[in-house]
Structure 1
Amino acid sequence: MNSKEYKHIEETLYEEKLDNGLTVFLLPRPQMSKTYAIFSTNYGSMDRTFVPIGQSEEVTVPDGIAHFLEHKLFEKKDRDVFADFSKQGASANAYTSFSKTAYLFSATSNIEENVKTLLDFVQDPYFSEQSVEKEKGIIGQEIKMYDDQPDWQSFMGTVKALFKETPINIDIAGTVESINKITKDDLYTCYNTFYHPENMTFFIAGNFNTESMMTLIKENQQAKEFPKLEEIQRSYPEEPKEVAKKQYKHKMPVSVAKCTVGIKESYQELNGSEFVQKDLLQDMIISYFFSKSGQFYEELYKENIIDSSFYFETNLDKNYGYSIIGGNTNNPEQFSTKITELLLSTNNMKITEEEFERMKRKRIGQLLRSMNSLENIASKFIHYHTVQVDYFDLIPIIQELTVDDANDYLKNWISKERLSVCTISAE
């Protein structure tokens, strides 16, 4: 077991890659009453075309299968795993994103029992034709529910406008039509390919003994057999630089229209230092302009273009990146025109040394506050780990960024071909 000390945040992280390929991270925080564990696989909704383990031909599986598989793993032949966690005083959950699927629990007692339950249920799939058919009805209702949510339709509409080929333009849950094509064999194909320990990470933070926890996890994994995993062959379509659509409009029963301006931040694979610099600057620069203390926010507010519903979000993953600026508006055209105008004006702007130092201090402060949350640490650590970045090294990396880095980024940040507008308005 290797350990790494991070003196700037007073943390020590323990890591070991087990014989079966599983990477384990332990972050002891004995002063905490709660413990949080997450068991994650590097597999999400966009992984739809791949070569199954043990085969040589590429397959494309139905959309929504990663999310469907997440649901099904909690259901065993004789019980529902949520009940197991509940009996042991733990709160369990799971989520599927475009690039990852994760299973987790938080608890203040019975930590070792809950760790065993987490490892065992994820590594013991049970799918029957009957249970698969039953789940189609449940997930079908979930899909229809999201179809009726304006906020989700606004998000997906923006993503669909931005990306032409990358499968994040497909809803994570799929469609009613696509999930009806899923079979028990499809689930086992995806499970056996992507749920191999070599493609998974286990992270636990909180109140536990480091040595005994690592021993427990090792013994649990040694008692199971897994075939040798060759490198997973995934296939993603080539994504053009420009957006798929300049405008995406959708009608649904809303009292006030919603409008978003999307920025296609990245359309190619990024890893390591290239990823982390773009990730940090993307976040810092959009916050510099659009946070409540930002220059653009003040201008938009004074002109009554935005209200309290105004928001922005930014996301960068290995194969894609986007930023979304949006809110409720009675005049979507005015909203989108002004936001686009402001974004395009950044090409001729320069950030001063003093401003950039403030931006760095603000981002470091946000990071330090977020590290008070075990849930945030675990999910962020795994996110960065999949792109070969150490989450706990972000603060020193921010400190090393220069104003020239920021201005070089700003100069190439916005172009018309990478902007799109999504409007959700009344029928």
Structure 2
Amino acid sequence: MSRKTYDNINETVYLERLDNGLTVFLLPKPEMSKTYGIFSTNYGSIDQTFVPIGNNEKITVPEGIAHFLEHKLFEKEDRDVFTDFGKQGASANAYTSFTKTAYLFSATNHIEDNVKTLIDFVQDPYFSEQSVEKEKGIIAQEIKMYDDQPDWQSFMGTIKTMFKNHPVNVDIAGTVESINSITKDDLYTCYNTFYHPENMILFIAGNFDPENMMSLVKENQAAKEFEKMNEIVRDFPDEPEQVGMKENKIVMPVSVSKCTVGIKEANKELDRDEFLKRDLLQDMLLNFYFSKSGQFYQELYDDNLIDDSFYFEMNLDRNFGYTLIGGNSDNPDQLANKIKELLMTTNSETIQEEDFERMKKKKIGQLLRSMNSLEFIASKHIHYHTLGIDFFDLIPEIQSLTIDDVNHYLKHWISEEKLAVCKIVAE
């Protein structure tokens, strides 16, 4: 077990890659009363086309199967795993994103029992034809619920407007039609391909002894057998640099219209250094222009185009990236035009040294505040690790950014062909 200390943030992380390939991170924080564990696989909703383990030919599985699989792993032949966690005083949950599926718990006692429960239930799949058919009805109701949520429709509507071919444009839960085609064999194929320990990370943070915890995990894994894993071959369609559509209008029963402007940030794999630079600068520039103290925010507010629902977010991942800016507006057309107009001016702007130093300090401050959350640390650490980046090295990486870095990025950040608009309007 290796140990790495980060003096600038006073954190120590223990790491070991086990014989079966599982990567284990331990972050002991004895000052905390709570312990948080997350068991994550590098497999999400975009992984629809791949070569199954033991095969030579690629297949395409139904949309929404990663999310469906997440649901089914909690149900065993004789019980529901949530009950096991409940008896041990733990709160458990799971989530599926575009690129990951994660299972998690938080608890203040019975920590070792809960860690074993977490690992064991994820590594012991049970799917029957009957239980799969039953789950289809449950997830179909969930899909229909999201179909009626304007915020979700605005989010996915903007993604679908930007991306033409990439499976990020498919709802994480799939469609009612796609999940109805899922079989028990499909679930086992996806599970056996993507849930191998070599494709998974276990991160435990909180109040525990790292030596004892690592011994527990190693003993647990040594008692199980896994076939040797070959490299997972995933396949993605070519995606153009420009957006798939300029505008998308969705009619729903809403009292106030919504408008989101999307920026298509990436459409292909980026190397580690380029990814990290983009990831940091993108977030810093959004804060600079669109936070409540930002120049663009003030213009939008003065024009009565936004209210408290206004937001911005960005996501840069394995082979795609996007930024979303928007919110409720009585004048969605005017808001879209104004945001695009403001974005297009950035190409000719220059960030001043004083402003950039302030941007870096703000980013570091936000990061340090977020590190008070075990959940944030664990999920972000896993996210960055799968991309070859050490999350706890982000602060020195931010400090190393230069004024030339930000101004070069700014000059090439926005182009008309990368902007798309999604509006939610009343019937």
Report TM bin, short chain. Answer: over 0.9
Q: Which residue matches 2:304?
A: 304
Q: 1:148: Cα distance to partner?
A: 0.2
Q: Deviations over 1:231-264 (max 9, x none)?
A: 0000011110000000001101000110010000
d(CA) in 2 for partners of 1:82 and 1:271? 40
Partner residue, 2:23? 23
Q: Count the aligned residue pairs.
A: 427
Q: Give the CA RMSD over aligned residues.
A: 0.5
Q: Letter of the 2:131 partner, please give it.
A: S
Whether the aligned pair in 2 keeps the contact of 1:347 and 1:414 (CA below 8 Å) is: yes
Q: Deviations over 1:350-407 (max 9, x none)?
A: 0000000000000000000000000000000001011000000000000000011000
When structure 1 is superposed on structure 2, of 11-20 and 326-335 the one drifting more is 326-335
Aligned to 2:75: 75
The yes-or-no answer on 1:215 pairing with 2:215 is yes
**C-alpha separation between the residues in 2 aligned to 1:407 and 1:241?**
21
> Which moved further from structure 2: 326-335 or 68-77?
326-335
Q: 1:38-117 to 2 correspondence within 5 Å? A: 38-117=38-117
Structure 2: stretches of 5+ with no match in the other structure: none
SS in 2 for 1:37: strand
Counterpart CA distance in 2 for 1:344 and 1:10 is 42
1:271·1:318 contact (CA, 8 Å) conserved in 2? no
Task: Report the alpha carbon displacement of residue 61 of structure 1 after superposing the two structures with TM.
Answer: 0.2
Q: Could you tell me how far 1:151 is from its partner in structure 2?
A: 0.1
**TM-score, normalised relative to structure 1:** 1.00
Partner of 2:12: 12
Cα distance in 2 for partners of 1:239, 1:305 equals 33
Map 1:6-405; keep pairs closer than 5 Å.
6-405=6-405
Q: Which amino acid aligns with 2:406?
A: A
Cα distance in 2 for residues equivalent to 1:237 and 1:286 = 29
Deviations 1:19-49 (A, max 9, x none): 0000000000011100000000000000000
Q: Distance in 2 between matches of 1:263 and 1:123?
A: 39
Identity of aligned residues (%): 73
SS at match of 2:174: coil
Q: What is the CA–CA distance in structure 2 between the aligned matches of 1:252 and 1:57, rounded to whole Å? A: 42
Contact 1:271 1:388 in 2 (8 A): no
My pick for the range that moved more, 91-100 or 307-316, is 307-316
What does the per-residue CA deviation read over 1:265-324, in whole Å, with 9 as the maximum and x for residues that have no partner? Answer: 111112422211110001000110000000101111111111111111111111111000
Q: Structure 2-normalised TM-score?
A: 1.00
Name structure 1 gaps, 5 residues minimum: none
Write the distance in 1 (CA, Å) between the matches of 2:236 and 2:284.
29
- In the alignment, the residues of structure 2 paired with residue 59 and residue 88 of structure 1 have an alpha-carbon distance, to the nearest angstrom, of 40
Runs of 4+ in structure 1 displaced over 6 angstroms? Answer: none
Distance in 1, Cα, partners of 2:270 & 2:388: 10
In the other structure, the counterpart of 1:407 is 407
The whole-number CA distance in structure 1 between the counterparts of 2:232 and 2:81 is: 29
SS at match of 2:214: helix
- Counterpart CA distance in 1 for 2:402 and 2:318 is 24
Contact 1:270 1:387 in 2 (8 A): no
The whole-number CA distance in structure 2 between the counterparts of 1:298 and 1:286 is 14
Secondary structure of 1:201's aligned partner: strand
Distance 1:329 1:410 in 2: 27
> Secondary structure, in 3 states, of the residue corresponding to 1:412?
helix
Find the aligned partners of 1:55 and 1:88 in 2 and give their Cα distance.
40
- CA drift at 1:51: 0.4
